[in-house]
Chain A
Amino acid sequence: MYGTGIWRGLRVTLQHFLNTYIEDIRYGFRRHVPVEAFPERQGLEARGIFTVEYPEEKIATPERFRFIPFLVVENYDHPERPGHDWCTSCGICAKVCPPQCIWIVRSDDPETGRPIPEPEEFYIDIDICMNCGFCAEFCPFDAIKMDHDYELASYDRTSSHIYDKQRLSKEFRYWQSIAPTRAAEEAEARGGWEHKDVLKQKQREAKEKGKAAN
């Protein structure tokens, strides 16, 4: 019969529309669904509106979410090396970067001319970055990680879209806060919460101490 398709289609829309109001009554006409009811609204039994009203409501991003890298530095209240770079400027991230948006200036010791394991300058052109996450994946020192902050709109791309070392650096604590599971896994693989080189240094010292004791 003609018209049934249209009628059935409209019925679906109407049902969703009414259910949205019924849900509203359940949550007491608050403008946005309360935090505790959020999983339910996106859950299996959800009826009515499904959308999340960005920017008033935001879904938290999962741990593996990747958006623009940042450089891990030692916590600013670290007893020995506050704010020290984890990066050793080995250049693997710059080499593996598909769009080649990472620029690193390696620092050299002014006296010996030998490279120091710390970058003098570190730039990422975020207009070019494609958020693939290779830099974080292949960094042997866990020194570059993908961020979760996706709200980066700005008024002028020419002046503000090349991030320098200062703009890129974030405390190690921040990485632990956005990705606790992975931070713990990585620490386990390294053998401790400190930087790889620090751990190695400690091991060496312990060994020497052991030798001295013998």
Chain B
Amino acid sequence: MAEHAPTAESVTPTDEALNQLSARFGDAIQPDTREGFSGLIVQPDQLIAVATALRDDLGYDYLASATAVDYLGKGDHFEMVYHLCRTKGGPPLVVKAQTPRDVAALPSLVPVWPGAEFQEREAWDLMGIHFDGHPDLRRILMWEGFHGHPLRKDWKEAYYEQEQKPFDSRWPSGHVRRSEELVPYGKNVRYPDDFSPEDYENITDEAHSRIMSTLAPGVEIESNGTDRLTVNLGPQHPSTHGVFRMMVTLEGEEIIALKPVMGYLHRNHEKIGERNTFIQNMPFTDRLDYICSLSNNFGYALAVERLMALGARYQPPTYRAEVIRVLMAELTRIVNHIWAIGFLLNDLGAYFTPMMYVVIERELILDFFEAVTGSRMMCNYFRFGGVAADLPERIRSEATLLNDRVRDINTMEYLRDLINERLPRAIDQLDEYLTTSEIVTNRCIGVGVLSREDAIAMSAAGPVLRASGVPYDIRRADPYSIYPELEFDVACRTHGDVYDRYLIRLDELHQSLRICQQLLPRLADTEGEPIFAGRGGMYSPRVPAGEAYGRVENPKGELGYYVVSDGGQNPWRYHVRAPSFINLTPLEKMCLGHKVADVVAILGSIDIVLGETDR
């Protein structure tokens, strides 16, 4: 964590921006002086001008995250928080704009960064902030018949029991009661005042034509003399990798408009997170992108550790803990990319065969996760200041009445086999059979092109961004953990089509293996060293008041956790910048002009997981 501590000579992004802009904007920009907070607070009427200046003059071309915080009882205002980055690297600049709770309106930043589109819709949906000038301000995760804005602090859910966990009813007189008994079935639904479920049609004609008239600029469709047809791909469709819907308007077989519809798996993860204590969020992060639970843990641990570092008694993770963390994160990346490539082939019509063969290696990695963390997918392994437990000496399982297929293997031998023999072999096999296969090349090359400028403007992240020619990888751009001392290359391709997004994943598999191979000797060297610097493993760590944004390069892109603490046991605000969600912003752009069948491949190449998209 030492690299994050501001040193005397280094200029923070906030100071730099203040120096450059205060002459031009005067009092419209103020530094955030609250204890534990940082960044700029911008007057709403100057927000667009400041944002444009930041983008054009200071080089903050990439909007990483935009989210809202409700400071009910702490100033009674909403605060919109933007994290801006430069694609050439460096820590993010935090820009904030405040609006009173009864006004709840801010100018939209979509004209400056189109990547704000979905994030502002989310803020409108969940927090009820109106964005003036937003091209398509509709609810995004909830449906129109939903009453209220659920992330507001004064909103209570149907099974509401108590403001914060732990609930008093559980101990010491915890007489068990099923939560269903609290609210009799069917009686817990409220509609907005002007809404009647009987009259509700999913999409009214007027709304439909409004949505579908928004053709992206510069796209001209040659008419085939056929009727325009709107088709729903999903929510139940094998190509959508979950419950995800795309409303597609077709001219013949060509796509002329596409609107993603999500939220079917929405569970208000962030509200649950604000009710939880800090440590209780850790297993919930597993359930975001359930393919990569360990790297989800990583981001959250980083965010809370940054908060804890504001206090006095925090001790950063030991070297061994960092090595284990990076090992887990990289193995997760391998798992995810193997899975993504397998599913991409699935979407291209190769059905399950390639996937099943690559999943063999994934199984072995999951076996390792199971032996170390206790679970194959819901790992819940990271703790603040370390990890839950050291690697076991042996991967062993005892015979019980249930089973007789017993294993007893040395953990390090298993890892060495996996990293040095099995995984390289499997990845080379993928490369050999798929990269030049004409099924892949014919369907992928030149399909779903996303230009470099669009990728940056629309806040694409991870492999999608790098396949479009932007070598932006948080492990290098804003390093965390022990990545600075590891040797690896940032994979980058230039065409931005489906094929390059496939190749990027293959490149990253090789790079991850390279990292893992460097970690093996480090693991052997640190054998037996402690995994916590201090006592560690506390269930109620002291988290001082303040804000922190912990971001990691998740296999799917930048995963950021924006956590605000008020000094209590629970986070005041807990926001997840979900790569699967924001990477859908350029989906329409990529699909326009292509055939219906290509949409499936393009969506597969973005690689979304609905647990994270819908949160």
Question: Which A residues have a C-beta under 8 Å from some C-beta of B?
Answer: 2-6, 8-9, 12-13, 16, 35, 38-39, 42, 44, 50, 52, 57-66, 89, 91-92, 94-98, 100, 102-106, 115, 121, 123, 125, 128, 130-134, 137-138, 146, 148-149, 151, 158, 162, 177-181
Contacts and interface: CB of A to CB of B under 8 A. Distances in A.
A61 B397 contact: yes
A60 B397 contact: yes
A181 B178 CA distance: 37
Given A59-B407, A63-B392, A95-B166, A123 B174 contact: yes
Contacts of B404: 35, 58, 60
Interface string B174-194: 111011000000000000000
A125 B174 CA distance: 12
A57 B407 CA distance: 14
Interface stretch (B144-152, B226-234, B369-377): B369-377
A181 to B, nearest CB: 7
Contacts of A106: 171-173
B405 A35 contact: yes
Given A5-B440, A180-B398, A96 B374 contact: no
B195 interface: no
A179 B399 CA distance: 10
Given A62-B371, A63-B392, A137-B537, A105 B175 contact: yes
Interface of B: 165-167, 169-176, 178-179, 276-277, 279-284, 350, 353-354, 357, 360, 363-364, 367, 370-375, 378, 380, 388-389, 392-400, 402-407, 409, 417, 421-422, 433, 436-440, 537, 539
Contacts of B422: 44
Contact of B173 (A42, A105, A148, A149): A105
Nearest to B280: A98
B329 to A, nearest CB: 19
The majority secondary structure among interface residues of chain A is mixed
A148 B395 CA distance: 15
Given A6-B439, A102-B170, A59 B405 contact: yes
A102 to B, nearest CB: 6
B405 A57 contact: yes
A68 B270 CA distance: 25
A138 B537 CA distance: 8
A64 B374 contact: yes
B281 to A, nearest CB: 8
A104 B374 contact: no
A8 B373 contact: no
Contacts of A52: 405
Contacts of A103: 169-171, 174-176
Given A115-B172, A134-B279, A125 B178 contact: yes
B172 A104 contact: yes
Contacts of A5: 433, 436-440
A9 B539 contact: no
Given A2-B438, A64-B373, A66-B375, A177 B353 contact: no
